[in-house]
Structure 1
Amino acid sequence: MNLQSVSFISGEPIFDKKATNKQEIGEILEKAKVAGQIWANVSVADRIECVRQFGAFVSAHRDQISKLISSEVGKLPWDADGEVSASIAKVELSIAAMETRRRDRILQPSNGPVQRQVRYRPIGVGLVLGPFNFPLHLPGGQIIPLLLAGNAVVFKPSEKATAVGQWMMDAWHQSGLPRDVMQWIVGAGDTAVTAIDRPEVGGVFLTGSRAVGQAIHRQLAGRPEVMLALELGGNNPIIVTESVPPDTVAKLVSFSAFVSAGQRCTCARRAIFVDGNDSNHQINALVIATEKLSAGLPGDNRAEVGPLIDATAAKRLKQTYDELLHLGCKPLLPFAVDPRHPALVRPSILDATDISPDGLAAIGAMEWFGPLLVVQRVKNFEAAIHAAARTPYGLAASLLGGSKAMFDQFAAGVGAGVVNWNGPTTGAAGALPFGGLDASGNHRPAGYYAIDFCSDPVSSLLRDEPSTDDPWSIVS
């Protein structure tokens, strides 16, 4: 089967390659295992230098890769350029994380009778399964720390972002990384399944949906020696209190829900308003501001909301919208596809205030990926926290307004891994951990903490010579 990508800008094919077959996958992983054993013995300083060379290469070619991201996955230019900036910044952040969190060290002064030492051992071959929504930044956030820790990497980009994946591979090799240390495979889900089954795999790293994460978890049953790090989706709430001006609500909530066409795992899916004198004005302002957002393709300089990844994603989002209507939600801004492109979906808003508790629970259990927001009114702040937490997911959440005490109550009760105050749900800092709780992850936060799942700690007690003390004396 051939994988093809067609440009959102020109409509021309930009990638066409056969999927990697089973035999080729085996050969690639065998080479990676051998190369990884050599790479693990390369000095940390040399590994750091190679990673920095990659960052310098991306920086020198940022316009090229930014345009390719826009062309292949439909990101608007400002959004694609922001991803490239984050990818470049990931280099130094990962180096700093290794130095502070994963550096070999002696825990007792060398003049003591017994030294306590911790060192870190690579996990082997890391299989990185990348997403389409941040095809450079998110896999890079796993590849860079894996390489710094001394692992080989086999990368499978999303089948919807293979041109960017190929560019990344070339960038690493032109930056001096040995070819067998960083290899790639191309294909859809069956390609990943084949690779995961290979005995050479020391770790699997996924950014994707809950369903895919669960499938990989089941596939690795009985293989506890394989590290599994899952960065999964969310059903992210943003609570709006009475004190926030309507125009501020409109800006922060619309950005949370509709930036990147809603194709960020941290995008808000539910906006929960504490009902009061201002809630009508706040919701009206949100609807009006959202209706004014300009939708367009990457070549449209005025666009604020770009397309979904493809027409299939648009149809899937329409199915979600229809399901929400069936549950009793009322449209405040109906679903609409722009006639210019079947993947260009305008933002839509539904009101779930009057639906049943079972219906609200069903909404909280849903996962969707696109510019669709559900709003709900509740009677007070405690009810808002209860509504926000009514989901099996736990990735991101935000509170607008309120006091520091209210935010602390919110952070303790909402059950999310990224919890913001007076900012969008999509706000995340590179110097912090990034990951979700419950159905949004498996206790392996990425971001600054990604270095933690790239190696195993080995502890030692060291003496200059055999001890003359009798260890059996403790039983007498």
Structure 2
Amino acid sequence: MFVAEDQVPAEYALPHELHQKEYLSNGFMKAWEGASHAVYSPVALAQADGSYQRKLIGSYPVCTEKEALEALDAATEAYNNGRGAWPTMGVDDRIKCVENFTRKMIAQKDTVVKLIMWEIGKSFADSVKEFDRTVEYIYATIDALKNLDRQSSKFEIEQGIIAQVRRSPLGVVLCMGPFNYPLNETFTTLIPALIMGNTILFKPPKHGTLLFYPLLDAFRDSFPEGVVNTIYGRGHAIVPALMQSGKINVLTLIGSSKVADELKKLHPKVNRLRAILGLDAKNAAIITQNADLKLSVEETVLGALSFNGQRCTALKVIFVHRSKVDAFLEELSAAVSKLKYGMPWEKGVALTPLPEPHKPAYLKECIDDAIRHGASVINEGGGTSFESFVYPAIVYPVKAEMKLYREEQFGPVIPVVPFDDLEEPIQYLIESTHGQQVSIFSQDHEEISLLIDPLVNQVSRVNINCQCQRGPDVFPFTGRKDSAEGTLSVVDALRSFSIRSLVASKFNENNKQLFNQIVSDGNSNFLSTKFIF
């Protein structure tokens, strides 16, 4: 599976190691001469002596609390209590800045796509898809903001009061994205926060850091000084001081609920802090006795193993009616055996190396725990690992006392739980600390109806005869319980990173003339009837 470096196709190889010795802060690329973190790919290369070694891709700065606080000061100054050039800029001008950034970003596509592939082991095809989807999201965000602004470009008169209601920014946003969709998931929060007039402190994920380096010049050249600032370093060393400063107005994190809880508690004025969080999930599939078995297997494979199961929306526990379970396991094993595994650049590859160095050992721990409690690995070769690769394991029967029953494995392990009564999976979802999504597989409309009503009050999305997923991006993406805070979609994100503000006055002749004069002079970017096309 792993090859020597001279066997990597030239069109997928990185031209050289990328050693980042600078970072973006206060509108300048600042030189860094301190400690650096070496970035090794999950792709191991065969060596002449028969061993295997992860490929060194490059390195990035390990900055300290000092540099992080300097970046915070830059973002705070750029916001200037809402008086800075960016928060007071007209919506149409902010849109032009984001459009300019997007053009510069597209020019870096080839480099960014290769870095996604090499840094996190995502297939080349999926890396291209992630980049393209991110660009589409940016343009969809621009269109959504135009629509939102058009609706706000009028005055309202109610009970003798004339007012104009628009959305205004919140302040300084600390943005931290995940490693599994490092570009797309990060930008689904960063871009709407930015375009609404907030200033940004951006910490790249631990895995998938270097891919942002080619975009830093685009950020610097597209926005006013201090509007976008990058912070590098160990999260535990630099983020607490940022939160304790009280200068962070919005925390946006896609990661673990434990980390989110700890960070929020550090803020001295928690009521002033808005949190937009995408957190843990343990999405279940419920395959009833009336399910289409072929369809259920196809969607389970997609839902559980796309990008090796390293998605918050992945199917992470499968409840199967006991009357169907033997046939389901047989067909699921056959389907998994047909998946192509290999290096990320191989065409049609579905299973690739894992970016987290500790993940193979953790998955083995989960599988061994299940076996100790009476489960078995059903599929041939399931759970076999070598270097950074783990072959998918179908584990059955999974029970409540097993780690796989509750813990989010975030990897290629498919726990299968048999059930006799639909109340069993319903109770699982009720008792779960997670509440993102569920997938129901059934061809009986009455059965589906009976499941929908209790489950929509446990999770944020109920999928019928299909896997759990985020898209389309116009749909709300959120979760209940410990799975999320705030709602993301193209439109919801714009609302999440802003607040409704209004200018109002008594409706009389004098105030009518004042408002007309302000609008006609065009001196206020807020009080305006400008219609953006």
Q: For 1:146-185, what aligned pairs fall within 5 Å after superposition?
A: 146-174=193-221, 176-185=222-231
Q: Of 171, 175, 178, which aligns to 1:131?
A: 178
1:140-197: CA deviations, max 9, x gaps?
00111011110111100112221013233333335x2234211101122222223222
Provide the C-alpha distance between the structure 2 equivalents of 1:111 and 1:245, rounded to a whole number of angstroms.
55
> Do the aligned residues in 2 keep the contact of 1:234 with 1:440 (CA within 8 Å)?
yes
> Do the aligned residues in 1 keep the contact of 2:42 with 2:118 (CA within 8 Å)?
yes
Compare 382-391 and 289-298 and name the one that shifted more.
Answer: 382-391
Task: Give the SS at the match of 1:48.
Answer: helix
> Do the aligned residues in 1 keep the contact of 2:85 with 2:224 (CA within 8 Å)?
no
Partner of 1:472: none
Task: Give the SS at the match of 1:265.
Answer: coil
Q: Of 286, 306, 316, which aligns to 2:332?
A: 286
Structure 2 unaligned segments of length 5 or more: list them.
1-34, 46-53, 512-533
Task: Give the SS at the match of 2:401.
Answer: helix
Provide the C-alpha distance between the structure 1 equivalents of 2:230 and 2:445, rounded to a whole number of angstroms.
47
Task: Give the SS at the match of 2:181.
Answer: coil
> Using a 3 Å threshold, how does the CA distance of structure 1 residues 149 and 251 change in structure 2: closer, same or farther?
same
Partner of 2:460: 417
> Do the aligned residues in 2 keep the contact of 1:273 with 1:384 (CA within 8 Å)?
no
Task: Give the SS at the match of 2:253.
Answer: strand
Provide the C-alpha distance between the structure 2 equivalents of 1:263 and 1:239, rounded to a whole number of angstroms.
20
- AA of the residue aligned to 1:344: F
Task: Give the SS at the match of 1:376.
Answer: strand
Provide the C-alpha distance between the structure 1 equivalents of 2:370 and 2:299, rounded to a whole number of angstroms.
23
- AA of the residue aligned to 1:312: H
Task: Give the SS at the match of 2:206.
Answer: coil
Compare 137-146 and 396-405 and name the one that shifted more.
Answer: 396-405
1:409-433: CA deviations, max 9, x gaps?
4333231123211211135210011
Task: Give the SS at the match of 1:428.
Answer: coil
2:192 counterpart of 1:145:
yes
Structure 1 unaligned segments of length 5 or more: list them.
469-476
Provide the C-alpha distance between the structure 2 equivalents of 1:318 and 1:55, rounded to a whole number of angstroms.
42
Partner of 2:359: 313
Compare 131-140 and 389-398 and name the one that shifted more.
Answer: 389-398
Partner of 2:123: 76
Partner of 2:161: 114
> Using a 3 Å threshold, how does the CA distance of structure 1 residues 438 and 467 change in structure 2: closer, same or farther?
farther
Q: Of 290, 297, 300, which aligns to 1:253?
A: 300
Task: Give the SS at the match of 2:270.
Answer: coil
Partner of 2:32: none
**Alpha-carbon offset, residue 86 of structure 1:** 1.6
Partner of 1:264: 311
> Do the aligned residues in 2 keep the contact of 1:122 with 1:455 (CA within 8 Å)?
yes
Q: Of 12, 23, 30, which aligns to 2:73?
A: 30
- AA of the residue aligned to 2:433: P
- AA of the residue aligned to 1:375: V
> Do the aligned residues in 1 keep the contact of 2:296 with 2:465 (CA within 8 Å)?
no
Provide the C-alpha distance between the structure 2 equivalents of 1:132 and 1:172, rounded to a whole number of angstroms.
21
Partner of 1:346: 391
Provide the C-alpha distance between the structure 2 equivalents of 1:453 and 1:144, rounded to a whole number of angstroms.
12
Task: Give the SS at the match of 2:378.
Answer: strand
> Using a 3 Å threshold, how does the CA distance of structure 1 residues 324 and 41 change in structure 2: closer, same or farther?
same
**Alpha-carbon offset, residue 308 of structure 1:** 1.3
Compare 368-377 and 397-406 and name the one that shifted more.
Answer: 397-406
Q: Of 398, 423, 441, which aligns to 2:484?
A: 441
- AA of the residue aligned to 2:289: E
- AA of the residue aligned to 2:500: P
> Do the aligned residues in 2 keep the contact of 1:15 with 1:162 (CA within 8 Å)?
no
> Using a 3 Å threshold, how does the CA distance of structure 1 residues 55 and 397 change in structure 2: closer, same or farther?
farther
> Do the aligned residues in 2 keep the contact of 1:8 with 1:70 (CA within 8 Å)?
no
- AA of the residue aligned to 2:393: S
TM-score by length of 1: 0.88
Provide the C-alpha distance between the structure 2 equivalents of 1:421 and 1:65, rounded to a whole number of angstroms.
35
**Alpha-carbon offset, residue 117 of structure 1:** 3.2
Q: Of 99, 102, 117, which aligns to 1:52?
A: 99
2:411 counterpart of 1:367:
no
> Using a 3 Å threshold, how does the CA distance of structure 1 residues 199 and 402 change in structure 2: closer, same or farther?
same
Task: Give the SS at the match of 1:38.
Answer: coil
Task: Give the SS at the match of 1:303.
Answer: coil
1:306-330: CA deviations, max 9, x gaps?
1211321222222222333344433
Provide the C-alpha distance between the structure 2 equivalents of 1:378 and 1:226, rounded to a whole number of angstroms.
43
- AA of the residue aligned to 2:391: R
Compare 97-106 and 309-318 and name the one that shifted more.
Answer: 97-106
Task: Give the SS at the match of 2:333.
Answer: helix
Provide the C-alpha distance between the structure 2 equivalents of 1:114 and 1:193, rounded to a whole number of angstroms.
45
Partner of 1:227: 274
2:417 counterpart of 1:376:
yes
> Using a 3 Å threshold, how does the CA distance of structure 1 residues 55 and 4 change in structure 2: closer, same or farther?
same
Partner of 1:203: 250
Compare 93-102 and 301-310 and name the one that shifted more.
Answer: 93-102
- AA of the residue aligned to 1:136: L
Q: Of 501, 505, 511, which aligns to 1:462?
A: 505
RMSD, matched Cα: 2.7
Q: Of 56, 64, 76, which aligns to 1:13?
A: 56
Count of residues paired in the alignment: 459
Compare 408-417 and 392-401 and name the one that shifted more.
Answer: 408-417
Provide the C-alpha distance between the structure 1 equivalents of 2:445 and 2:487, rounded to a whole number of angstroms.
25
Identity of matched residues, %: 23
**Alpha-carbon offset, residue 464 of structure 1:** 4.5
Partner of 2:3: none
Task: Give the SS at the match of 1:187.
Answer: coil
> Do the aligned residues in 2 keep the contact of 1:123 with 1:202 (CA within 8 Å)?
yes
> Using a 3 Å threshold, how does the CA distance of structure 1 residues 458 and 31 change in structure 2: closer, same or farther?
same
Q: Of 408, 418, 440, which aligns to 1:399?
A: 440
> Do the aligned residues in 2 keep the contact of 1:102 with 1:451 (CA within 8 Å)?
no
> Do the aligned residues in 2 keep the contact of 1:295 with 1:344 (CA within 8 Å)?
no
Provide the C-alpha distance between the structure 2 equivalents of 1:221 and 1:237, rounded to a whole number of angstroms.
37
Partner of 1:474: none
**Alpha-carbon offset, residue 294 of structure 1:** 2.2
Partner of 2:378: 332
